[in-house]
Every structure is written in C-alpha cells, then in structure tokens.
Structure 1
Amino acid sequence: MEELSIDSLYTEQELISQIHNCIEKIRKEAEKRSSICRIILTGRSALHSSIARKGVLDDILKDIREDEEGGKQFVWIESIEDNTNPEIDRKSLLEREDFIGDLVKLFEEFSHDETKIAELRESLEPLFTSPGGRKLIETIDDEHFLDLIKKAEALCLDQLGGDEFS
C-alpha cells in the first residue's frame, strides 16, 4: 500500500506521472522481484473533482497496468483508492461569522502570531515533560509544530463538513 498526496497536483497528467514515480520507487525497493500494490490518493487539490468523476481512476489504472505488462519486474497496481478532498477556500472561511469562521481564524492566529504559538507550546509543555510523555513524544521544532497546526486545521474542517468548504 502506498499513499500518494495530490496536494501539489493540478492535472491528471501530473497524477499519472506521480503514480509512475511511485511505481519506480516500489520497483527499486522490491529488489528485482515483481510486486503488487494498492495506491491510496490523499490530500486536497482542484484535481479532486476530476478524479472523483466516474471512470477516471479506472481509466488511469487500466493505462498504468498496460504500461507494466510484459516487464520482467512488473509492479501490478491492484487498485487506486480516492481518499482526496477538494481544496479549501480559506479566504471565504476567514470571512464567515460562525463557528467555522472562528475556528479558521484561531488556526490562522496559531500559524502566524508568535505569541499565540508560544502560548500553545506552553499549554502543551506538560505532555512533553511528564514521565510518560518524555518516553513517547519527541520534542518538535517550530517547522514541525506549524505543520501539525495545519494538519489539525485540515482534520477539523474535514470532520466538520469537508466538501462544504471548497
């Protein structure tokens, strides 16, 4: 099973190219043996609406399988699963005057306001300094911390409505 994010992809051709890159990675890791793999597409992109159309992924899968036929060290893609979501229109969400708008504004503050980031880090400090926490949780740098904030925002929005925010 291989996860492939469509976050930075905008066309079907870019997706096909990334699937081929994924196949080459699998082939290299398999060390001269043939392989079977499932590809799970994740992430958010304008490409979501295209690949969500009936038959699009089936056609891509068929073409990729044809490309792999007859090779000595083939990689058979068993299936391609679509777990993608549409892009989030953050600008319009920031303008909303409801819970979702407040939530996105809060995440915006945590992402850009050094004071808010410091407050959040301070509130999480007991997790990192407790005996159990020290064993299980590594200290994270600022870049990773901001990435976790972005992932938390995406998870919240997905759980609260997902497609509604595109």
Structure 2
Amino acid sequence: MIDIADKSKCCGCHACAQVCPKQCIKMEMDYEGFLYPIVNKDICINCGLCEKVCPQLDKVSSENFETPLVYAAYAKDESLRMCSTSGGVATMLANYMYREGAYICGAVYTDDFKVELIVTRKEEDLKENTNFKIYSGNCREYIQRNKDAA
C-alpha cells in the first residue's frame, strides 16, 4: 500500500490511483494546491500495484545506464517561441505528429482560465491552443470517456 510520508517523494502523476483495482486511492489537494494519494485502508487489498507503478518508489537503477545526455531545444521562429511555455518545442513536436497522422493529447487553458484536456488529430486545434500546459490532475475519467477516440 502506497504511503507518501514525504511529499517530495510524490510527483503527482496519479499512476497509483489509476492502477488501483479497488479504486481506493484518491488524490487529495494539500494547502499548497498539490495533489497527493490518500488510501482508504478499509478497501485496500494490499496488492502492491500502486507501489510497483510509482515512478518515485520504483526507481530504475542508473548503474545499468551510460551517463545520461541532456538535450535542450527551442523553436527558431521567435513568434512561436514567445507564445509558448516550452520555447515552441511542444508545438513543433505536435506538428510533426500531426503530419504522421497521430493523435495529440494535451492540457490547454480555456477562455475562463481553467485547464481542459483535449485529444485531437486536427492541426487547427493546435493553432488555437498554442498554450499547452503541464497538467497535474486526475486523468482517469477523461481517459475512460475518450478511450474510443483512437
């Protein structure tokens, strides 16, 4: 059973809550607005799936890997770079994926400044939503609602 005593050991990915077969893990917001897993111990069957899927608890040993390389990139197009939080890289990658016929999933701001998840194959959706954002939230309902999109 997952127990995050040190909040710096949780990245807020929701993997534990999404993999739980009993759905006994809920993500609850702390006073700073970050979500952390809380386990209903009355329902938990101690299957251990939450701990196995957790990227913070089940870290891969780096001794089997060469020294990691670090890559940095940004768009050469300054107008693209200036309207993007990723330096334009997310837009460039999404455009490439569109050309390959892939679906793009992202978090965008709505007109009333709420974060909304979208899945699309339409390049014009990207042009309207160059403000893709990093999203820390519950994707379970969204994924279940849209699992037939592909």
Larger gyration radius, structure 1 or structure 2: 1
Aligning the two structures, in what range does the TM-score lie when normalised by the shorter sequence?
Answer: under 0.3
TM-score, normalization: structure 2?
0.26
TM-score, normalization: structure 1?
0.25
- Higher RCO, Cα 8 Å, sep 6+: 1
